[in-house]
Amino acid sequence: MPRAQRSPEEIDMVRQDIMEHALGIIITDGFAALSMRKLANQLGVTAKTIYNYFHNKDELYLHLLIRGFQQLLVSFENAVKQHMPPIKQLKELIRAYVNFGLEHVNIYNLMFTWHVPKFNDYVGTPLEQVAQEELTTALKCADFFMARIAAMIGNEVTIKDEEIHGELIRIWSQMHGYVAGINNNLLDYLHENPLALRDQIIERIFACSQRELVALKQRPALTTFAKK
């Protein structure tokens, strides 16, 4: 009697299980050590079974990243409540990012910290389309953040896109610096309990962002385009 086809929900559960085991191998032995055979051995199946769900380890890795950025975007969306003032939204986004990085250490490191392949490594390969999906998902997180920066500036002056990008990079660098310092234990050499500083660091990043954005709003001569 032929085996019944798996439902979409069952297929997704299997894919999620495969990805979790793949992430475990990457954490323990590095990306280069990940192979379909090694993964199959951990799962107690044949490598052929894994290939039914992912064509190769790079496709599997890219879907891990897609899932991670989807989770981060959901964290952002959940942090921002309807009718919340832009200034409060930005603060809660900073909190959501830091919390995500500290509470999902392994996937965060894969997304932002470890030296692993990036989009440009897949350009011109059969995996370029999947890599493009991963990049698009990642950029949605950045766009969501930048939209809140722009909303906080308001419509009083016209801010150049590169200035908003620059502010995003500054905020993101501060958030990542703290998260990475916690996750790789480097901050343990500077403070007996750096994790206890979480709320204080979030407040300081936000306060710095607030000062910078207020300064942008007060520079119309530099940021407003000439009216014809």
CB 60 within 8 A of CB 18: yes
CA 228 vs. chain centroid, Å, equals: 41
Angle at 96 between CA 105 and CA 144, to 5 degrees: 115
Torsion of CA 82, 150, 90, 177, to 10 degrees: 150
pTM for this prediction: 0.87
Predicted pLDDT at 228? 38
> What separation in angstroms does the CA of 103 have from each of 11, 111, 137?
27, 14, 20
CB 86 within 8 A of CB 152: yes
CB 76 within 8 A of CB 93: yes
Per-residue pLDDT at 221 exceeds 50 = no
Per-residue pLDDT at 218 exceeds 90 = no
Per-residue pLDDT at 45 exceeds 60 = yes
DSSP codes, 5-35: PPPHHHHHHHHHHHHHHHHHHHHHH-GGG--
